[in-house]
Amino acid sequence: MSLPFSNIKVVELSHAVMGPSAGLFLADMGAQVTRVEPLSGDPTRFLKGFGVGYYPFYNRNKKIISTDLKKEEGKKIVIDLIKKSDVVIENFGPGTIDRLGLGYEDLKEDNPELIFCSLKGFLPGPYEKRHAMDEIVQMMGGLAYMTGPSGQPLRAGASVIDISGGMFAAMGIITALYERESSGKGKFVQSSLYETCAFIMGQHMAYASQNNDSVPPMPERVSAWSIYRIFNTKDDDKVFIGVISEKHWASFCDSFDRADWEENENYSTNNKRIEHRDTLLKDIEDHILTLTKEEVIAICEKARIPFAPINRPEDLFEDPHLNQGSYGLVETEFPNGVKTKMPRTPILYGDAKFDNRLNPAKSIGEHTIEILKEIGYKSEEIEKLKEEEIINYE
């Protein structure tokens, strides 16, 4: 089955996570994505620490061309690519793309059907010229405050704002592609980190608008449900259990063979259980401490009570659910030769498979020659461009 965007061509002028994630979503769904990297290679190729995962995860299913955008000949190559493309994605710093002469106003005359998506730290307003990163907007957008305990703001454990901002960008691009079917016209689309974080904070803002007190951080919140927490097990492990309905409560009591809990009038409704939460939770903690993690999981699974083991990222490689079928993990080879499994774009779309069709490019400018020939450059022209350090390939 052909993929939904197999006839869509995308030029990606991006760096870090936000821009590449938007390109990844479209590439996984079949778009022909050409990513432009500098002559020295995309900086995320060479990151250490946590950054070592950026390039190999966000750059599958993309072809890579290496050129110098600050030189007229390099800029011309990109313009030639864009003339034959449907979408441009860019997430350079404020004003950079316009200074390069590659902004929407520069490009739309030659390609009036072009959809130009700009991913920034902020949408237009007082902050729009500021530089931003995921962690910065987590701090100023309330997410870090909500994640750590009072007085200890803590960034979330993944690049959630970068990735969510990339998803909003992809949503805007897809909307513009749909509108173009009837209008025949392109569109300027923009998403941002800060407004994405504000959107994620929406439910907490709704809470704040109805309460006089400050919103408590998540570690200190008063849960709406009486049993909604992590419990220690006999084998020094942990399991999260969430009892969020009266049906769950009845199943919970029955499955753990505690009729006394169900018969206790103090525990007859969720609100009553909240009133007596300290006593109830102490009883539950003591009971679960007599069971191993696997015993608790088996009981909850059989009773259809919401639960979760406390996994680490590396545990996901062997997760039986993620390894079953075509919707979890997909085989991938990294530029350094590591062969592993990575998460797919998590959408079930009819019979389509969002597979890894092309591993992340191993070498700088790996597809440069192929791409240039596709847009009409001759071999001798390509060699000359390489000699003049307009393009690069290894």
Q: Say how far apart CA 320 and CA 103 lie, in whole Å.
A: 46
* Phi, psi dihedral angles at 206 (to 5 degrees): -65, -40
Dump pLDDT digits (tens) for 304-316. Answer: 999 999 999 999 9
The domains of the chain, with CATH numbers, are 9-201+325-392 (3.40.50.10540), 223-313 (3.30.1540.10)
- Look up residue 13 and give its amino acid: L
Strands 87-90 and 9-13: parallel
Nearest alpha carbon to residue 231 among 185, 288, 183, 190: 288
- Look up residue 258 and give its amino acid: R
* Phi, psi dihedral angles at 160 (to 5 degrees): -65, -30
Q: Say how far apart CA 221 and CA 53 lie, in whole Å.
A: 33
pTM of the model: 0.94
Nearest alpha carbon to residue 46 among 340, 364, 332: 364
Give the per-residue pLDDT at 213: 87
Dump pLDDT digits (tens) for 335-379. Answer: 999 999 999 999 999 999 999 999 999 999 999 999 999 999 999
Q: Say how far apart CA 185 and CA 114 lie, in whole Å.
A: 7
Q: What is the mean pLDDT of each run of 10 residues along the chain (394 residues)?
A: 94 98 99 99 96 98 99 98 98 97 97 99 98 98 98 97 99 99 98 99 96 92 92 98 96 97 96 95 98 98 97 97 92 98 96 96 98 97 98 97
**Largest pairwise CA distance in the chain:** 86
